[in-house]
Amino acid sequence: MHLPEAYKIIGGEISIRKLVDNFYDLMSENPDYFAIRKLHPQNLKDSRDKLFMFLSGWMGGPSLYVKKYGEPRLRSRHLVFSIGILEKDQWLSCMNQAMINTGVQEGLRKNLVKAFEQTADFMRNRSE
């Protein structure tokens, strides 16, 4: 399965919105994700919208993020945050739990986890 097929397999816009909402709900409610929560503003509406738009295009659906903000340039947009192993691991754990909670099928979840791991590792900008 290739990542561009993920949008269709996951269930499109509705499923990605559920995933993103569950991800941010977990981040806000579970102290295990405190390190990544504190990197976000108190009001998560813009964060939710941006991740939803990004994931839509990244998974092979409409390029909502690119249309509104231009190329993602993830690393450069995240350089203002100190991201180390702790933050990377918390983000991955939170996203994995959100995928489980929202019923992302196991095969797709495993493929997404691999892709998320590569991206999250690339986002690290603090030497440890």
Judged against a pLDDT cut of 90, whether residue 120 lies above it is answered with: yes
Q: What is the pLDDT of residues 86-96, one digit of tens each?
A: 999 999 999 99
Find the CATH number of the domain harbouring 118.
1.10.490.10
Within-domain flag for 94: yes
- Tell me the pLDDT tens digit for each residue of 61-110: 999 999 999 998 988 988 889 999 999 999 999 999 999 999 999 999 99
Judge whether residue 2 has pLDDT over 90.
no
Tokens matching residue 56: 């839509």
128 in any annotated domain:
no
Within a domain: 69: yes
Task: For residues 52 and 21, give the distance between their C-alpha atoms in angstroms, rounded to a whole number.
Answer: 9
Token pair, residue 59, equals: 């998974």
Distance CA(49)–CA(100), nearest Å, equals: 21
pLDDT of residue 96: 98
Question: What is the percentage of the chain residues whose pLDDT exceeds 90?
Answer: 86
* Number of independent structural domains in the chain: 1
Q: Does residue 113 fall inside a structural domain?
A: yes
pTM: 0.93
> Percentages helix, strand, coil for the chain, rounded to the nearest 5?
75, 0, 25
Is residue 93 in a domain? yes
In a domain, 46, yes or no: yes
Q: Residue 85 sits in which domain range? A: 3-123
For 25-36, the pLDDT digits (tens) are 999 999 999 999
The pLDDT of residue 1? 44
In a domain, 52, yes or no: yes
Average pLDDT, the chain: 94
Banded model confidence at residue 20, pLDDT cuts 50, 70, 90: very high
- Could you tell me if residue 66 is inside a domain? yes
Tokens standing for 81? 């945050």
The pLDDT of residue 127 is 85
Distance CA 66, CA 57 (A): 8
